Amino acid sequence: MHTEEILLVTALGSVLILFLIKLKNVMKKAEEKLINEKKEDILKFLYKQLQENKITTFSDLQLFSNLKPDRLIKIVHILLREKKIKYDNENVKLTSEGIQKAEKIIEKHRKIEKYLFENTSISIEEIHSIAEKEEHAETKIPEHQNSYECVDPHGDVIKGNSIPYKSLLSVIHCPEKIYKIIHIEDEPKEIYAKIVKMDLAPFEYIKIIQLKDKSIDILTNKGQKLEIDIITANNIFIAEEKDENIEKLFEEIEKKISQISTLDKLKIKEKAKIIGISFYIRGEEKRRLLELGFVKNSIVEPLYNNMLGDDPRVYKIKNTMIALRKEQAQKIYVEKLV
């Protein structure tokens, strides 16, 4: 062979080897990332089981994680070595260290959700799945910038646990009772979207009117009458609330229920008093509306439409003219003045 050929072959060979090493590195990184994600998912799962007082066996883990057995074993090994989990007669349990770690992950998840809710225009149903991805990574999403937040958009306390709550479905008797919505489950997406559309949100109050076979009739603190089917009800979590002010509020609302409507439904020149605005008007938009006077008890009046129809429409509030789009007006509750 000629020297040139030898040189060429060596050069090509070394390039190939370098490439293979690089490839291996990349693959190793990807594998590490995957394992890390799965590890964190398993910790979260165990934490949830713990909270629900359920025991977890290895096969539960397998069912949950959907991993090949050898992979799962590897991950469990790592977790055991890191002292995040321990075996306790066949059952897998979190150690205190594991609990701490799981809480950290959940906290991060909620923080990301809150950030996305307040500072982006990502639709609320998608927020959960994005946060699910971002919580593992060195996330690029900054922590909520200007303010410390303590609850996420589903009503969960970011650091620590909420007060005990139960599903709306578990209400068996005694209608006429007032509850506060504490938490709204964000999975599955379709049901969550339905709840959002009904404008049911954390921190709102509801009064049970009637329990039916397949649905529950409720009245909200903004004067909406809603019929909730049982599947949806199962995803709404509530706690009892005994507060005189709230009871009074509901009394008042029931009295004037026929005048209650949303801003977009008012006719031109029809004056109304604001009852409240939706939880799902988010971030900056909400603050702006409040500052401009869209608060409880303000008087508002639709002044005129635009050239192409009634979206957006101009409203008069605090002697100023403000144009709002239809979706915004739909989320503002008012009481018509007679």
Partner 1 sequence: MQKDFEEIIKKVDNYRIKYNNTFRDKIIEDMHNQISDILTDIVDYQETNDLISKLEKYVDLFLTSKIGGIILLISFLSIALWITLTGAGYISSFLSLIFERIEVFLRNILAVLKVHDLLISFLIDGVYKGVAIVVAVMLPPMAIFFPLFTFLEDLGLLPRIALNMDKIFKSVGAHGNQALTMIVGFGCNAAGVVSTRIIKSPKERLIAILTNNFMPCNGRWPLLIMISILFLVPAITNSSNPLLGSIIASLALVSSVIIGLGFTLVVSLGLSKALKSYSSFYILEIPPFRKPNLLRIIYTSIIDRTLFVLSRAVYMAIPAGIFVWIINQLNLSQTLIAFFDPFGKLFGLDGTIILAYIIALPANEIVIPALMMLYTGSKNFMEIEELQSIYQILTVYGNWDWKTGVCVMLFSILHNPCSTTILTIYRETNSLKWTVIATIMPLIIAFSTLFLVHNLVLKNIH
Partner 2 sequence: MKKECENCQILRNLKNYNKVDYTIALVGNPNVGKSTLFNYYTGMSVRVGNWPGKTVSKIEGFFQLKIQDKKYVFKIIDLPGVYSIFSFTPEEEVTRNFLFLGSYDLVIIILDATNLEKNMILAFQIFEITNKVIFALNLIDEAKRKGIKIDIDKFQDRFKVPTIPIIASTGYNADLLIYKSLEIIQGKIKVDPLKYKLPPELENIINEIKKEILEYYPELENYPHLKWITLRVLEGDKLVIEMLRKKVIPINKTTKLLTT
**Binding of partner 1 at residue 335 (CB under 8 A)?**
no
Task: Please choose, out of 68-76, 116-124, 217-225, 254-262, the segment that lies near partner 1 by the rule CB under 8 A.
Answer: 116-124
Choose the contact partner of 80 out of partner 1, partner 2, none; CB within 5 to 8 A by kind: none
133 binds partner 1 (CB under 8 A): no
When binding is defined by CB under 8 A, the residue of 3, 66, 121, 146 that contacts partner 1 is 121
Chain-centroid distance, C-alpha 229 = 20
243 touches partner 1 (CB under 8 A) = no
> Residues, the chain, total?
338
Q: Which two tokens stand for residue 217?
A: 């009739």
Q: Pick what 285 binds: partner 2, partner 1, none; C-beta below 5 to 8 Å, kind-dependent.
A: partner 1
Single out the residue of 6, 8, 9, 323 in contact with partner 1 (rule: CB under 8 A): 323
Specify the 3-state DSSP secondary structure of 11.
helix
Q: Tokens 């594998």 appear where?
A: 31
Spatial CB neighbours of 59, under 8 Å, sequence gap ≥ 6: none
Question: Which among 87-95, 144-152, 191-199, 228-236 is the span making contact with partner 1, rule CB under 8 A?
Answer: 144-152
Distance from C-alpha of 150 to C-alpha of 294, rounded to nearest angstrom: 25
The distance of closest approach from Cβ of residue 149 to partner 1 in the complex, given in angstroms and rounded to an integer, is: 8
Asked if 145 is part of the footprint of partner 2 (rule: CB under 8 A), the reply reads: yes
Rounded to whole angstroms, the Cα distance separating 90 from 183 reads: 33
* Residue 285 binds partner 1, judged by CB under 8 A: yes
Which residue from 25, 175, 258, 304 is in contact with partner 1, where contact means CB under 8 A?
304
149: left (phi over 0), alpha (psi -120 to 50) or beta: beta
If one asks whether residue 332 binds partner 1 (CB under 8 A), the answer comes out as no
Nearest to 163 by CA among 179, 177, 176: 179
Comparing CA positions, the residue from 74, 6, 80 lying closest to residue 46 is 80
205-211, strands of its sheet edge to edge: 166-167, 236-240, 178-184, 205-211, 215-220, 225-229
Residue burial 49-64, b: 16+ Cβ < 10 Å; e: rest = bbeeeeebeeebbeeb
The least distance separating partner 2 from the CB of residue 195, rounded to whole angstroms, comes to 26
Q: Which stretch in 26-34, 44-52, 252-260, 278-286 sits in contact with partner 1 by CB under 8 A?
A: 278-286
The SS3 of residue 260 is: strand
Residue 322 near which of partner 1, partner 2, none (CB within 5-8 Å, type-dependent): partner 1
122 binds partner 2 (CB under 8 A): no
CA distance 34 to 115: 25
Q: Which does 328 bind (CB under 5 to 8 A by kind): partner 2, partner 1, none?
A: partner 1
Among positions 120, 139, 215, 259, the unique one binding partner 1 when judged by CB under 8 A: 120
Binding residues for partner 2 restricted to 272-301, rule: CB under 8 A = 284, 287-288, 291-293
Does residue number 121 form part of the binding site for partner 2 (CB under 8 A)? no
If one asks whether residue 150 binds partner 2 (CB under 8 A), the answer comes out as yes
Single-letter residue type at 216? I
Residue 157 near partner 1 by CB under 8 A = yes
Does residue number 147 form part of the binding site for partner 2 (CB under 8 A)? yes
CB atoms within 10 A of CB 80: 14
Q: How many angstroms separate the CA atoms of 74 and 35, rounded?
A: 9
**Residue numbers of the site for partner 2 (CB under 8 A)?**
145-150, 284, 287-288, 291-293, 318-320
**Residue numbers of the site for partner 1 (CB under 8 A)?**
118-122, 148-151, 157, 159, 162, 202-203, 282-293, 295-298, 303-309, 311-312, 314, 319-325, 328
